[in-house]
Structure 1
Amino acid sequence: MISFKNLHLINPIVRAVTEAGYSKPTEIQYSAIPHILAGKDIIGCAQTGTGKTAAFAMPILQLLKKHTPEHNEIRTLILTPTRELAIQIEENFGIYSKYLPLSQLSVYGGVSIGGQLAALRKRVDILVATPGRLLDLVGQRHIDLSKIEILVLDEADHMLDMGFINDVKKILKMIPQKRQTLFFSATMPVNIRKFAQIMLNNPVEVTVNPVSSTAKSVQQSVYFVEKQNKTGLLINILQSKDVKRSLVFTRTKHIANKLVAQLGNAGIFAAAIHGNKSQAARQAALSDFKNSKINVLIATDIAARGIDIDDLPRVVNYELPNVPETYVHRIGRTGRAGAEGTAISFCDREERSDLKNIQKLIGFTMPVRQFQK
């Protein structure tokens, strides 16, 4: 059995991850870590929930530990598309660096800039950032990117899909050309791969599962149901006692908010998390969901990538995404780390083509469930 020590990780990191409950490296970890430690650029493609963050975090910490400069300077920059994911990555770095003299900070929009400025005055070795807030802070001369040694684009496809490509190009001009660059994502469409080849220097490709595959541990199915009947079906599913916790996806903030009210009227307490919610509200909803104060969380795709919950038995696609890769990310919230999971999708007449595109991408025809009105 391959262990973390076999990957030539130093004892402080092995000790920290062992205490955090990691018993052995996942496939993406043992495939990518040796290349990163060797200073190679990486294009890493693996399903959501397979340990991509640890796959780049552990070797980065080891590379930074090798030499610590006298001056305080940001040495690693991790770009990520959402606030939730930035917070999650910062937390993970904190766990893995428990026994190392290295510090990390996440900066993102939607919250007061004051607290982030105060944190930036202290030593920051690893900065996790959403592109917009990072450019604001650089523009105000609060951040200097001239000493960056390692750049990571996490969820690269989603970031560039969300219109961040121009921001990323601006940031690339601000950091040294001589650097190590790591691309990690669950999907790697052709246009993203082309962009990666421009950014990276002779990259090693690490693909541990077929691109856009879904975990075998997730049981997928679909209901054909008209739009006006979706809420009734959702209430019926949520009222059954077979599953404790459910994450429900909608396309829009409006539908997410509307569903919270409709479920509340049926005696099902839920919370919504989307881009219009304040950071405090989003974190409170996520915390209540993790602690089982509420058993239903309704999310839009913008919020999906930062939801990292070990025990999430069910995902419901109340509305199908019109980008097939998004389906992979959504259902990747369940069935993580080998656990069993269920993914139920609702498909109305207008969504038939979306379902067809999703099934073509994943190479799998979902079994159809019957809806009784």
Structure 2
Amino acid sequence: MSPRPLDIVVLGLSLSSSWGNGHATTFRALLKALGARGHRILFLERDQPWYASHRDLTDPAYCELALYDSVAELDRWRDRVAGADAVVVGSYVPDGVEVARRVRKLVSGAYLFYDIDTPVTLKAVDEARCAYLTPEIIRLFDVYLSFTGGPTLRRLERDYGARAARPLYCSVDPEAFAPRETQKRWDLSYLGTYSPDRQPKLETLLLEVARRAPDLRFAVAGSSYPDDVDWPANVEWIPHLAPPELPGFYAASRFTLNLTRADMIAAGYSPSVRLFEAAATGCPVVSDNWAGLDELFRADREIVIAENADDVLRAVGEWPAERVAELAAAARARVLDGHTADHRAREFEAYVDEALRARSQAGAAEGASRSLAMGA
């Protein structure tokens, strides 16, 4: 349990549907951990047709989930928002700019923005095409929580006027993503929806490998792949996996591949939740490279870094079983030591406390200033 239970309201893209988005799994892990630590949580989600037709969570045990149809309908929860210790608005919330402005008028506690897409967000802000955030809105929040760490945090404060930018990486629920004994179906797997900027790396680091190693078996799980993808005969394509199926998917893989969006690579320090989930299940990870990865996992000791198909083939086709097992165990230990949902929940609590203290100090300073002015 935390030192003091908090009343938390979160307005996020989706908690109810994990179809085609990483927001739901991120929020589920974090909010479950916060709930276990004694906090009361309300999650407000815009009811949208895409998620309505693909819902895989309707009644979470760790928080209250409510759907709304329009920004105006948020007034139904104005008392909960006004009385909350912390209010969080997430990236990609529909009509996010209007939501952020409306909510800010009600908030009396800590006001936080949680960006699960930081490099993509900032690029869109720079090009004045971000539908959920502007420089003006950034300055409304007490804390800007970012999926991306490193230099981006300083840039948020220096160039965008964020009051405090703090990292809140994705995480894993170690109970859900635990090792399990199962038959290995694939030598290398990949989990991810289709993305044009990731596809060339998928071609190089998995499909080319599959063509060069017809005796090995591969799997790609994810939606929205175009019909013209040339899947080799030894590659199985799985259009969708629900969250409960992911641990089994990793357990059935000798290795799994992690690929990173171009904007995330440019920013660095942007780990995917798949890194932590796969490692927690004991599945060795092969990953593309980016700044900050070496601060999370040690190359060739906790993760395999691949620049080309030869790098993948050496690990998947030549590494002895003992070396593979040692790498997997070391990666799992690293995740359990610093990247579980409970770790993130504790970090979130610290950021809320920081924001509340800053508000209190600002209020005291303003009160003192008024007293001096009246005395004068």
TM-score range, shorter chain: 0.3 to 0.5
With normalisation by structure 2, the TM-score equals 0.43
Larger radius of gyration: 2
